[in-house]
Chain A
Amino acid sequence: MKRLRFNQQEIVFAVFAALFLVFSIFLRGFLTPENMLTLLQNVAVLGILGLAMAIVVIGRGIDISLIAALAVPPGLVLQMVQNGHSLPASLLTAVLLTIGFGLVNGWLIAYAEVPSLFATLASGLLLAGLGQTALFQLDVVQWSDGMKGFERLGQGTIVGIPTSIVMFAIACVVVAFLLRRTRWGAYIYAIGDNPYAARVTGIPSRPIIVLQYVVAALIGCFAGLVMAASVNSMPTRIFNSTLIYDVILVVVLGGIGLSGGRGGVLNVIIGTLLIGTMLNGMTIMDISYAGQNLVKGVVLLLAVITDSFLNPRNEETAQQGDI
């Protein structure tokens, strides 16, 4: 008899479906179109960040500095506009800063061979520190008149759908295309699956790894712009928050194994949906902040345990010094 086997994606989807069903039945006001849109809107930025993290994790890395890329370059845009620079010039500066940051990350990991966890931990601190000491006047950079019109990136609706959801959808399509339809995407899977074999077959693994971190930083910056537009300011000290854990939670929960080479955009969407449903349900039930953290912690632990059962460490994965 064939043994029943589920992969993590299916398990998480089943959990999501069950939770969704329970909330729909028992929580008044949960299953309304408005609430569904709010649910998605609340996790859109998290989802975009999840896409960036997914690219890196599929390539067998991790990017702890993602929140710095989310906070600092968009904060710089707001600060420069506040100081009287034009919006296009500020955006260009921010994008260049982001690319530079991604290059540094990539170089450290691909060429200097610093483990990605430590490299991005340090570089994230560096970028956030740079922002705080040199770039911003205050932690929360306020929206100014020069940004007029740009708030549409995160506020309002496009054909009835909140803009931030549309941005998440666009990001999903772009990343799915990059991963599934381009040679670069195939290389990332190959490197994530087995970096040595990838190198032997002639894949330019080091430049690909660098590119991976540049793209992740750019997506992070994009998420930051959506967030800033959505709350009409850039609270740059979000770097000190637990957001990065939520991002890892989305990715791991969605079924992208930390040992690399597996998963895709669909996993991020499923992970995001589960988190969104949990947060939304807990907010409607008025569960305290500490209680919500507890639930999230338990879920992350369960996800990591499931991950290590479904993607067990073996000779091959243990050798590359994954996290």
Chain B
Amino acid sequence: MKRIVSSAKVTAIALGLAAIAAPALAQQGLDEPFQKPFKEALAGKTVAYVPVAMNFDLTEGWYAGMKKELEPFGVKFEIRDPNWNTNAGAQAVTSLISEKPAVMVIHNPDVQTYAKLLQRAENEGIYVIQINMGSAYRSSAFVGANWIEIGERDTEAVVKACQGKSNKIAIVQGALSAAASAYTLKGVENVLAKHPEIKVVSSQAADWDAAKAKAITQTVLKQNPDLCGIVGFWDGMDIGTAAAVKEAGLTGKVFVATSGGGERKGACELVKSGAFDLNMSYDVPTQAAQMAGTIKWLLSSGAKAGSIKGSEYTTLIPITKENADSPTACWNLSDLKK
């Protein structure tokens, strides 16, 4: 008798539980209404990428990062490599306009050359995302470093390092017409305007070339052995700047500030070795993710190309001796490509 009662209880409890659970079991999963149009908006679309050149950490990193984010959605990711040739780049952009990809990702060699072409592209209904080095034309989006901020923060660090020393600094610029170089210089000037005690003994362009940067720095250091700091404009070029400082036996005495994409070999390793005292990293993998995010958003928004314009400045990571050892300060190109 007891057993019957208890089994009835169990059955009742079970039935009660089933009754509670029933509506949930009966209900179908809720369809998210937005992902289907999102997938449709991306599938089969072409995104064309025109860097100034492939084969260096920045452009390879952006490529790998965007590819990883876009290809799973069926986006066709194409690349046109002008290999440092501005004319070839302009031709690539021109021919892309007639091929009508959905999005063009453009890395400008200077502020003028592509400006008109990019405007034409948007008139033709192609979204244009300009990366890291912008042009005079403002397109759907700019994703990249804030060069003025880089110039300011690098110079502030150099000015600080110069306190109580000779106050003589040198500036090693990139290519004069490139946005990265011209805007960084503006940032440098902003800080120098507040520090009249700082004397710029040399401000020359090394054209993104390490050998030229070394030659200039060697001469400057011989003229001014009491130099207290150098503001360099790109770590790929400033390997030469640092080599000249090292050769003059002034490592640690002359503060070298530079900027770059934060790839381990080009940034953290060189800061650890003492070649650079500060390397402002614009963290290429994060930039690539933001570029890909912007592409996804633009494609799924249905907005008319050219009707919206926005900017995404990436957060800078200052790499110094303190964090150069950390696993997150820098990134490895080989890992990003996996």
Contacts and interface: CB of A to CB of B under 8 A. Distances in A.
Interface string B205-233: 11101110011101110110000000000
Given A42-B218, A283-B219, A288 B239 contact: no
A136 interface: yes
Contacts of B239: 140, 231-233, 235
A144 to B, nearest CB: 9
Interface in A251-306: 279-280, 283-284, 286, 288-290
Contacts of A235: 209-211, 236, 239
B85 A283 contact: no
Nearest to A156: B247
Contact of A32 (B85, B204, B222): B222
A238 B223 contact: no
Q: How large is the interface on B (under 10, 10 to 19, 20 to 34, 35 or more residues)?
A: 35 or more
B323 interface: no
A78 to B, nearest CB: 12
B101 interface: no
B203 A238 contact: no
Interface stretch (B50-58, B62-70, B314-322): B50-58
Given A232-B243, A286-B202, A280 B211 contact: no
Contacts of A230: 211, 214, 243
A45 B211 CA distance: 10
B331 to A, nearest CB: 14
Contact of A140 (B173, B220, B236): B236
Contacts of B84: 237, 240
Interface in B50-95: 53, 55-57, 60, 83-85
Nearest to B244: A231
B176 interface: yes
A288 B53 contact: no
A1 B132 CA distance: 69
Contact of B207 (A32, A35, A155, A289): A289
B199 interface: no
A65 interface: no
Given A29-B223, A35-B222, A142-B265, A283 B211 contact: no
A314 interface: no
A132 B216 CA distance: 27
Nearest to B60: A138
Contacts of B247: 155-156, 162
Q: Name the residue among B173, B222, B240, B246 with the largest chain A CB count within 10 angstroms.
A: B222
Interface string A142-163: 1000000000000110000010
A37 to B, nearest CB: 8
A123 to B, nearest CB: 17
Contacts of A233: 210, 239
B174 to A, nearest CB: 10
Contact of A289 (B85, B176, B210, B333): B176
Nearest to B213: A231
B266 interface: yes
A101 to B, nearest CB: 20
A156 B246 CA distance: 10
Contacts, number: 96
A132 B31 CA distance: 49
Given A231-B211, A233-B239, A289 B83 contact: no
A283 B204 contact: yes
A238 B211 contact: yes
Interface string A7-51: 000000000000000000000010010110011011001000000
Contacts of B206: 289
A227 interface: yes
A231 B210 contact: yes
A284 B214 contact: no
Contacts of A290: 176, 205
Given A138-B60, A140-B56, A286-B203, A35 B219 contact: yes
A201 interface: no
B211 A227 contact: yes
Nearest to B265: A142
A35 B56 contact: no
Contacts of A283: 202, 204, 215-216, 219-220
B332 to A, nearest CB: 12
Contact of B205 (A34, A132, A241, A288): A288
Contacts of B173: 289
Nearest to B266: A142
A319 to B, nearest CB: 36
B219 A288 contact: no
A289 B333 CA distance: 32
B204 A139 contact: no
Contact of A136 (B55, B205, B219, B333): B55
28 contacts: A29-B222, A35-B222, A39-B219, A41-B218, A42-B218, A42-B219, A45-B211, A137-B333, A138-B55, A138-B333, A139-B53, A155-B246, A230-B214, A230-B243, A231-B240, A232-B239, A235-B236, A235-B239, A237-B53, A240-B84, A240-B85, A241-B209, A283-B215, A283-B216, A283-B220, A286-B203, A288-B204, A289-B204
Given A155-B246, A240-B83, A289-B206, 20 more contacts: A32-B222, A38-B218, A42-B219, A138-B55, A138-B56, A139-B53, A140-B56, A140-B266, A231-B243, A232-B239, A237-B55, A237-B84, A241-B207, A280-B219, A286-B202, A288-B204, A288-B205, A289-B204, A289-B205, A289-B207
